[in-house]
Structure 1
Amino acid sequence: MTASSPHTSLPAGAPASASTAGVERAALVAAFDAQMQPERFKDYGPNGLQVEGTSCVRKMVSGVTASRALIDAAIDAGADTIFVHHGLFWRGQDGRVTGWMKERLKRLLAHDINLLAYHLPLDAHPSLGNNAQLGQRLGLVADGRFGEQDLGFIGAPADPAASALVSLEALANHVQQVLGRPVVQVGLTVGPIKRVAWCTGGAQGYFEAAIAAGAQAFITGEISEPQAHLARECGVAFLACGHHATERYGAPAMAAHVAAQLGVTHQFIDIDNPA
């Protein structure tokens, strides 16, 4: 992404020649629910349809967060549906429709746009979710799960002899290159890295579970003060790689899959976020 560009728009999923007849909104929601089974998760907000728009879906935009910038970009792209990981509504938030919430909702309602959001179910999906997609890009193969609701992935490099992953320094450089942003690295690990744990986004609280699962290095989006001490004291490296950077792969993968299944046009729009 260039410094002058407000967002990066990447085509994905069904080609532009996909059917323009559209599908029923209920069928789209049912297809996402079937993939992610949101009823299985105890989450921080509602999964599924958060804002109701048109009943006929023809073009869907996916993104990481339902920000005003993403909503505006979706409007410009002619979308009638937005699919995101981070929706508008969270447990414990102020329920008043004022300020930034009013501005986001005003745009969605004025343009009759559906907003669908899936949080933990998208993280956990075994092939199309955030963790699975991040692992694929980093060359990691999961062979186990850990942490609350089994959200964390643990495994090994797909090619154990790959020089990009055999040492901590090489792993950190590899992650930084793949994600295109600096990595905060705390702690050291001895010898070649054979076991890596990862959980995208704000999963710093999963670090102790990753250590208990046998990880030599843990990859996530954010780090808090306690994890720095744990990394130094336990001999397990902690790599904080950016909340947004680690979670920008699940939404387009899932949306592209469902869009192709139903014959809906899909476009991924990445709104840059340094966090």
Structure 2
Amino acid sequence: MKWLGRSPGDRRAPEPGSYEQSGAWTVDRAIRALTTGCAAHQRPVPAVGAVVLGPETVALRLTTPDENPAPGWTVEEHGRTWRASLRWLQTAAVDDRLPEPFPLLVSLGMTDDGRLLLNLAEAAGMISLEGDTELARGLARSWARRLATSPWAAAIRVIRVGFEPDPDFTGLDVARLIEVAATLDGPEPGAVLLFAGQPLGRDLHQVDRLLGEPARRWSVVAVDAAEATWRFVVGVDGTVDTGLLDEHVRLRP
């Protein structure tokens, strides 16, 4: 594969069995090991657009090439990829006091190299899920549930707009974004907004305003958005054309 272009306190390894649990734990540990190594060497954490969890390694796809990896990581593709072995991550030093660098990681699906997670924060604008509408909305619902419960997103608010009630979603559900407009400028670090359809009218005005903030605290995902920075096309066969990879991604059930 080639890259183009909520209780955080419990860090114990999960019991064997659940792929989702063990995968989330491994990704969380990889990110914390990365952050700890960068802090120890007084260097910034690199900007990461995607994470690939393979059977033996975790790979970081950097948005800006960097050929000086943190300890425990090897560099590939002229600095575009950093890789660490799962064996090393089991015993790597981690400092849980450091802030999460990638709170907006979401799982997209499987590639030939492993499970692919995208960092929504790297989209400097709206993200559109299109193609098969029901599958696209299902993907948005899955992202909302994961962001509301994943160990690396504990400080992030997740707001869904226009979705049917979902008992597995622990974030905030509203019919229109304008219903919570008064809370959007609070002191919180931001949120992810997920729309079941294209934002319109006053909702679109709010989205444009939030995405225009210099601090880029907000990420917005919408089904069939008219204008978007990233477009992910979900096919009826359950594959996704990201426009960022040279292969399609297979959605996980």
Is TM (by shorter chain) over 0.5? no
More helix by share: 1
Structure 2 length-normalised TM: 0.31
Structure 1 length-normalised TM: 0.29
**Structure with larger Rg:** 1
